[in-house]
Chain A
């Protein structure tokens, strides 16, 4: 019996060891030789940044992309040799895998809190970011996500939660308006029941209905599925002219393909989760001519975009999948806040994160009082010949796109947007608090204000 038991123990141990190896197979270039260095002229502090994304599972390719973005930023920061609070700072990335699973997300979040990291970059998915943000908030750790777009993340009242990407309220709205502009009359909505997919689909539905579209079917799948024929067959019977998918590329690609197999003539439309090269690879020719949206402006149109792309491709010998530029900015914003606070202590630099005004790769980054990116733009893209082709940008203040002479006009717009954001959030707050007439009216007033600001934006841009 003894012998048998030890065999069991050994095999279990082996399994765990191997499993662990698989997750951490990436070499950590900056990890070990930090502390016992030769006597340096200045004291050196190690700043540990926790990064969380799915490194295994169906979204592992996106998780790796995020991590690469963070790694690029950290290597650059270390090369710069920053000094904060009189000490030389060495950044270290502690990368964790949450498997895109909310349960796992909180487990690794606790692990990072216990490891006393100085800040958190991530998580990738809204579904993991939202439950984890509570732990970070309790620990007072600033958290900047480059990709969690569900509005709930920043609306929980946590002072530590920030994101450098437009949220799904903005994106859903833009997508709905775009669908109406494309002449769609009826739409079937599919979502993957994650916080991200469901949130985006809900916002899209609101906006689409407001724009006069008829929602003829609402179907669901999950973020691990590969077969969508059953729900697509049902959708086919509704004869709608658009299928909207709230979810990620690993499902969206095969879905587009299966739509074609079933002879569905409807167009396909999706959000940032399917706006990837991977989507086109998986969907093949079925993706040709379809549309998707991405928060922010296309990289090629941004001042620092092409440079980032070159650096990224050179360093990792991989294509940018999706969020890596945003994650790169998230790290830079955090480092910038530490610099301004002259401290790497989360308690001290947290206040500075909110005051950020940083000219990043993806946008000029500053946060509203909720930690949301101010004036986030949404861009529409079309899949054409295996490439994402930029169509147009909806909303936001496209800072980098307009030239220096319209800077003033843009500043004006930004102020307007700020006021609108305030009004809108007030409205949202009162509506949430009690669904009274007053709340509803406030919403209406907020909506009017948004409309007014949009006109103002248009006028301001035209002024150039």
Chain B
């Protein structure tokens, strides 16, 4: 039982990380129907900027908390600018192009950002400075750390904040209007460019948060860390119904749990025929089954031509 509980905790934390990243995907998709494949790279750059800034300040003798805050602030600013720049340079000129064009550009931007990061930060793995105190808990035989609790809490709070933003603020209303029909929204006096830029900026800031969580959890970072993370988060967003905020959250946690339980029990269930390296297959099979019966994802709205 303690092992089962431990696997649930593992899955929950991993899932919360996926969810945080998935929120960035789903927000942009919800508004413009664009899959921003460079989002994983924004997460990566946020993490690496935090390492550079916080690491430098800790070395200069600043208190860890202060250095952490400074790192976070710097990373959020850099990535907001990056998100805005991505939209301005790579996506806005293609807004009326066929759907495939911005998708290819997004993949291209992802490669560009990876290589830029490789040039700036090098090929080696970087260690993330310990910004949060290490506290271990034990509960019914399962071990977990303060960092894990914080990750789950942060992703829940973030989603709450996003829901508030989208459904209770004027910007949110403009976002929903743009999502329904950009042309009509602009006739109603909504500045579409501003709304879309805001979506990218907010999505990027969330990405930084996710990156810092990943960094503190695994304590390492690398210029290619965003690729796999982005892919998994994208899967989570599709699983939950891309474009739906609650769906992204749920899809992320579900994916995390499936992976953890899959890796933990698939070997026993199949009598050793399939090993733990089939955990990804397990996760993707669930995705396929969900999409077969509900093509728009668990929480997705039926929108025919999208996705």
Please determine whether A193 and B277 come into contact, CB atoms closer than 8 angstroms.
yes
Is B7 touching A230 in the complex (CB atoms < 8 A)?
yes
Chain B minimum-CB-distance residue to A18: B112
Q: State the CA gap A18–B109 with chains docked (Å).
A: 10
Q: Is A282 in contact with chain B by the CB < 8 A criterion?
A: yes
- Interface residue tally for chain A (C-beta within 8 Å): 48
* A19–B115 CA distance with the chains assembled, in angstroms: 7
A230 to B260, CA, bound (A): 5
Q: Determine the chain A residues whose CB is within 8 A of the CB of B260 once the complex forms.
A: 229-230, 233
A229 x B10 contact (CB < 8 A): yes
| CA–CA, A215 and B122, complex, Å | 39
Complex contact B263–A7 (CB within 8 A): no
Q: Which parts of A1-38 form the interface with B (CB within 8 Å)?
A: 4, 7-8, 11-12, 14-15, 18-19, 21-23, 25
A278 on the B face (CB < 8 A) = yes
Of the candidates A8, A221, A230, the one having the most CB atoms from chain B within 10 angstroms of its own CB is A230
Structural contact, B111 and A15, CB atoms closer than 8 A: yes
A227–B98 CB distance below 8 A: no
User: When chains A and B are docked, how far (Å) is the Cα of A113 from the Cα of B263?
Assistant: 41
Q: Which chain B positions have C-beta within 8 A of A236?
A: 3, 6
One of B50-58, B215-223, B233-241 at the interface: B215-223
- Asked if residues A257 and B219 are in contact (CB atoms below 8 Å), the reply is yes
Residues of B within 8 A of A64 (CB): 123
Q: Show the binding face of B for A, using Cβ within 8 Å.
A: 3, 6-7, 10-11, 13-14, 93-94, 97-98, 101, 104-105, 107-108, 111-112, 114-116, 118-119, 123-125, 127, 136, 138, 143, 145, 218-220, 222, 224-225, 228, 259-264, 267, 275-277, 279
Q: Which of A7, A12, A18, A282 makes the CB contact (< 8 A) with B220? A: A282
Q: Is the interface of B mostly helix, strand, loop or mixed?
A: helix
Docked CA distance A253–B221 (Å) = 12
Q: In the complex, A219 Cα to B272 Cα: how many Å? A: 10
Our pick among A22, A25, A63, A233 for the contact of B6 (Cβ within 8 Å) is A233
Residue of B nearest to A263 (CB): B143
* A254 CB within 8 Å of chain B: yes
Contacts A61-B123, A282-B125; is A226 near B111 (CB within 8 Å)? no
Least CB separation from A279: chain B residue: B125
Closest chain-A Cβ to B98's Cβ sits at a distance in Å of 7
Q: In the complex where A219-B276, A230-B279 touch, is A60 in contact with B123 (Cβ < 8 A)? A: yes
User: Is the C-beta of A316 less than 8 angstroms from some C-beta in chain B?
Assistant: no
Within the complex, the shortest CB–CB distance from B121 to chain A, in Å, comes to: 11
Complex Cα spacing A121 to B56, Å = 39
Within the complex, what minimum Cβ distance (angstroms) separates B232 from chain A? 10
Q: Which residues of chain A have C-beta atoms less than 8 A from B277's C-beta?
A: 193, 220-222
| Beta-carbon contact of B127 and A14 below 8 Å | no
Q: Inside 8 A of B123's CB, which chain A residues have their CB? A: 55-56, 60-61, 63-64
Q: Which of A7, A237, A250, A263 contacts B93 (CB 8 A)?
A: A7
A224 adjacent to chain B (CB < 8 Å): yes
Q: Which among B94, B112, B124 has the greatest number of chain A C-beta atoms within 10 A?
A: B124
Which of A51-71 touch B at CB < 8 Å?
A: 55-58, 60-61, 63-64
- Determine if B6 and A61 form an interchain contact, defined as CB atoms under 8 angstroms apart: no
Chain B residues with Cβ below 8 Å from A15 are 104-105, 107-108, 111-112
A231 at the binding interface (Cβ < 8 Å) = yes
User: Inside 8 A of A407's CB, which chain B residues have their CB?
Assistant: none
The reply to whether B218 and A226 form a contact with Cβ atoms under 8 Å apart is: yes
For the A-B complex with A63-B123, A278-B125 known, give 19 more contacts whose Cβ atoms are closer than 8 Å: A7-B101, A11-B104, A19-B112, A19-B115, A22-B118, A56-B118, A219-B263, A219-B275, A229-B260, A230-B7, A230-B259, A230-B261, A230-B276, A233-B10, A250-B222, A254-B220, A261-B136, A261-B143, A262-B143
CA separation between A75 and B111, bound complex, in Å? 32
* CB nearest neighbor in A for B126: A281
Interface flag for A131 (CB, 8 Å): no
Residue on A nearest B110 in the bound complex, by CB: A15
User: Among the listed B105, B145, B276, which residue makes an inter-chain contact with A220, where contact means beta carbons less than 8 Å apart?
Assistant: B276
Q: List 9 A-B contacts (CB under 8 A).
A: A8-B104, A15-B105, A18-B112, A22-B111, A56-B118, A219-B267, A233-B264, A254-B218, A261-B143
Query: Residues of B contacting A257 with CB < 8 Å?
Result: 218-219
- A284-B219 contact in complex given A7-B101, A233-B7, A236-B3, C-beta closer than 8 Å: yes
Known: A22-B118, A281-B125, A281-B127. A58 touches B224 (CB 8 A): yes
B222: shortest Cβ distance to chain A, in Å? Answer: 7
Is the CB–CB distance between B225 and A226 below 8 Å?
yes
Which of A57, A230, A263 meets B264, CB within 8 Å?
A230
Complex Cα–Cα for A22 and B115 (A): 5
A411 to chain B, nearest CB (A): 42
CB distance from B170 to the nearest CB of A (A): 34
A58 to B123, CA, bound (A): 8
Q: Known: A57-B224, A257-B219, A281-B127. Contact between A22 and B94, CB under 8 A?
A: no
- Give the most central of A55, A193, A227: most B CB within 10 Å: A227
What separation, in Å, do the CA atoms of A8 and B138 have in the docked complex?
A: 55
A25 in contact with B125 (CB, 8 Å): no
Closest residue of chain A to B6 (Cβ to Cβ) is A233
How far, in whole Å, are A108 and B11 apart by their CA atoms in the complex? Answer: 39
Residues of A within 8 A of B13 (CB): 229
Which residues of chain B are within 8 angstroms of A229 by Cβ–Cβ distance? Answer: 10, 13-14, 260
Given A230-B276, A237-B3, A278-B125 in contact, is the A22-B119 Cβ separation under 8 Å? yes
**Interface check A429, CB cutoff 8 A:** no
Q: How distant is the Cα of A231 from the Cα of B116 in the complex, in angstroms?
A: 34
In the complex, which residues of chain B have a beta carbon less than 8 angstroms from the beta carbon of A226? 218, 220, 225, 228
Q: Which 8 A-B pairs have the closest CB atoms?
A: A22-B115, A15-B108, A220-B277, A60-B123, A230-B263, A229-B10, A230-B260, A61-B124
When distances are taken between beta carbons in the complex, the residues of chain B under 8 Å from A7 are 93-94, 97, 101
Find out whether the CB atom of A18 lies under 8 angstroms from the CB atom of B111.
yes
A234 at the interface (CB under 8 A from B): yes
Query: Are A221 and B276 within 8 A (Cβ)?
Result: yes
Query: Which chain B residue lies CB-closest to A221?
Result: B277
Contact residue among B3, B112, B115, B118 (Cβ-Cβ distance under 8 Å from A233): B3
How distant is the Cα of A317 from the Cα of B25 in the complex, in angstroms?
Answer: 40
